[in-house]
Chain A
Amino acid sequence: MALRTALSRLLVNSQRCSLISVSRAQGTSAPAAYETEEQVKKTPKVQFNCRDVLDLEGQLTEEEIMIRDSFRTYCQEKLMPRILMANRNEHFHREILNEMGELGVLGPTIQGYGCADTSYVAYGLIAREVERVDSGYRSVMSVQSSLVMHPINAYGTEAQKQKYLPKLARGEILGCFGLTEPNHGSDPGGMDTKAKYNHSSRTYTISGAKTWITNSPYADICVVWAKCEDGRVRGFVLERGMEGLSTPKIEGKFSLRASATGMILMDEVEVPEENLLPHVSGLAGPFGCLNNARYGIAWGALGAAEFCFHAARQYTLDRIQFGVPLARNQLIQKKMADMLTEITIGLQSCLQLGRLIDQKKYTQEMISMLKRNSCGKALDIARQARDMLGGNGIADEYHIIRHVMNLEAVNTYEGTHDIHALIMGRAITGLQSFTVGK
């Protein structure tokens, strides 16, 4: 057990494509002629490595490499074995929050309060490793880190930070982020959820409905955005047990099945004024959080794409049709070339974005651009990979179809593909095209 897992860590961490099994099941075709030649010739200094084409590894600090390796091991050893059934049976493993909390990967960019205070590049690497297993797990982690811990840290009072952040960091309590409504998805500004201040009791009364909320059925706290009487949107921390608050689960989801999604229904919920996040008002609040999450998603989606690429590569090398491996075919090789190109280029851009964010030299359009690119390309890669697996591609045992389903949601949430195009368009032209008005 320990030895095998430790040994499997070495297998998982090995970077060299050429040294990983190009082996096939016993009794199948002999190794290609050029391979045998390679064994006799002296190994050239630099080899093409399909696990890291442009040497992303060389651009990371030692610390970032250690963080990635340690977390990759955890994901492959502890998350991968669970995901098949979790996805099939739509079961949310609440305990992964505690496990991740122990590893210190929740809210990793926050300083203090039991958080790691690491770089944004490290956060991206973490997201990529989780999503390599499943986008649902990464959604859970993103919500906890970027959409719950971040707003409390950025916009909350010291008392709120002390009260919630350490527990959130350890995964003791689970949070969710309530912005989207049944009638307001891409236009959160038009939200119907209202918050009314009561001078006598120093509370706010909040009423409204939020939907498509990751974690809500199991959440202990909800960071809800509501329109106040002055027309400004503000954030409130609601706690489970408050009267009038309920979080029904959304059934019949075919995407992100390993994560629980639900609604937040608020029927005149009385929230003490201490639960208001005072240091922000207006849409800048929720958007600040979303940008944080979108950055993680830009990295994460490529992790899912990488999994699909490598799975398809191995499958087409193993599967023999018409006497040769599928990988011998031009159509297959073209698909793999396209996939690997997009993944490699995408990762380089994410690294640069991470470095810019760490230097505080970024704009939200940069993040929009990469979220859109990574998700769109990853969805396409997953679909191609599914196709390459043929019939087996629709079986969840091969995992690719699960990524295909998940990436549909990932492409849509946190700003749809089209909305991010408009965000960029506005920056490019100076003209907004969200509304039909001026």
Chain B
Amino acid sequence: MHRSSEVKHVASYLNTRGCECFGQPCESHCPVLTDRTIHVQLKTFIKIRVKPDRTGVVTDGVKHSMNPFCEIAVEEAIKLKEKKLVKEVVAVSCGPQQVQETIRTALAMGADRGIHVEVSGKDYETLGPLQVSKIFAALAKKEQADLIILGKQAIDDDCNQTGQMIAALLDWPQGTFASEMTLEADKMKVVREVDGGLETIKIKLPAVVTADLRLNTPRYATLPNIMKAKKKKIANVKPADLGVDVCSRLEVLKVDEPPQRQAGVKVETVDDLVGKLKEAGRV
């Protein structure tokens, strides 16, 4: 079923935050919010270091790349274009100069043009889902987008908020954790991966969809496409131009490494074990 060729859409917000905690799936890395301090569990894979002033982790010199879920989002957007269901794919990212590399990767995968929303320095350190979603909402109106696809969450902060907030700000329907999306006339059928299993919904366009793991397998950027990407345009925009205030409402009080793993205690008998557990108040 072919959509009219007037549909454009804004593709994924490419999260280019430092992906420090990767290697194993996210369940072993989850920010735990207690008493307004955020404990980020260190991975044994990568040496993530807490900054000396304990306001965050060191991101200098850490190679930043496209968030894996956003890669999946870009792939889905390009697939829709290949099926001629959408006219144009625009890749957008917010951040300092380096994010242009990530936008180029999206262009190399097949996006038509890019938009770099410049946010750097202190503003970038405190940039969170709320500000990003405001930027996106403003851009969506400016570009007259029909569909926004993003990764369901960033693997460095695991917020899982941006997509939902964009939908709320624009008052658009949302299909989150999509493992399948099909365009049917003017509606998008989205199969969502939820705790209970799979939920299928139909949402009217314009809409926001966030990509989950099983939506697709992102393609490798081919050489000819990488060469073509050079000629594609990346527009530069500032949040102020979009009327967005990137000031953060959150203040990070401190960031600590998790406590050093303590040595275990060996016991001789089961009774000893039970005794020790009772002592510790566990049973």
Residue numbers of A with Cβ under 8 A of B are 1-11, 13-16, 18-23, 39-43, 47, 62-63, 66-67, 70-71, 73-74, 102-105, 108, 116-118, 122
Residues 33-78 of B contacting A (Cβ, < 8 Å): 44-47, 49-50, 52, 58, 60-63, 65, 68-69, 71-72
CA distance A66 to B65 in the complex (A): 12
A interface secondary structure, majority: helix
Chain B residues near A103: list those with CB within 8 A: 220, 222-223
Of B65, B69, B220, the contact of A13 (CB 8 Å cutoff): B65
CA distance A2 to B215 in the complex (A): 9
Write the chain A residue with the least CB distance to B107: A66
- B205 → chain A, closest Cβ, in Å? 26
Of A3, A15, A42, A104, the contact of B223 (CB 8 Å cutoff): A104
Chain A residues near B44: list those with CB within 8 A: 21, 23
- A236 → chain B, closest Cβ, in Å? 30
Q: Is B145 an interface residue, CB under 8 A from the partner?
A: no
Number of A-B contacts (CB under 8 A): 112
Contact A15 B227 (CB under 8 A): no
Chain A residues near B52: list those with CB within 8 A: 40-42
CA distance A2 to B214 in the complex (A): 7
Chain B residues near A10: list those with CB within 8 A: 19, 22, 63, 65, 68
Chain B interface category by residue count: 35 or more
CB-CB under 8 A for A16 and B62, given A66-B221, A108-B223 = yes
Chain A residues near B63: list those with CB within 8 A: 10, 13-16
Contact A18 B47 (CB under 8 A): yes
Residues 223-255 of B contacting A (Cβ, < 8 Å): 223-227, 229-230
Of A2, A14, A71, the contact of B213 (CB 8 Å cutoff): A2
Write the chain A residue with the least CB distance to B53: A42
CB-CB under 8 A for A19 and B47, given A67-B226, A105-B223 = yes
- Sampled A-B contacts (30; CB under 8 Å): A2-B68, A2-B218, A3-B25, A3-B69, A3-B213, A5-B217, A6-B68, A7-B25, A10-B19, A13-B65, A14-B63, A16-B63, A20-B46, A21-B46, A22-B47, A23-B45, A43-B60, A62-B230, A66-B101, A66-B105, A66-B108, A66-B221, A67-B226, A70-B221, A71-B220, A103-B220, A104-B222, A104-B223, A104-B225, A118-B223
Write the chain B residue with the least CB distance to A123: B223
Among A66, A73, A108, which residue has the most Cβ atoms of chain B within 10 A?
A: A66
CB-CB under 8 A for A116 and B223, given A2-B214, A6-B218, A7-B155 = yes
Residues 80-129 of B contacting A (Cβ, < 8 Å): 101, 104-105, 108
Chain B residues near A9: list those with CB within 8 A: 65, 68
- B21 → chain A, closest Cβ, in Å? 10
CA distance A1 to B212 in the complex (A): 12
- B149 → chain A, closest Cβ, in Å? 15
Q: Is B160 an interface residue, CB under 8 A from the partner?
A: no
Top 4 A-B pairs ranked by shortest CB distance? A6-B68, A104-B223, A116-B223, A70-B221
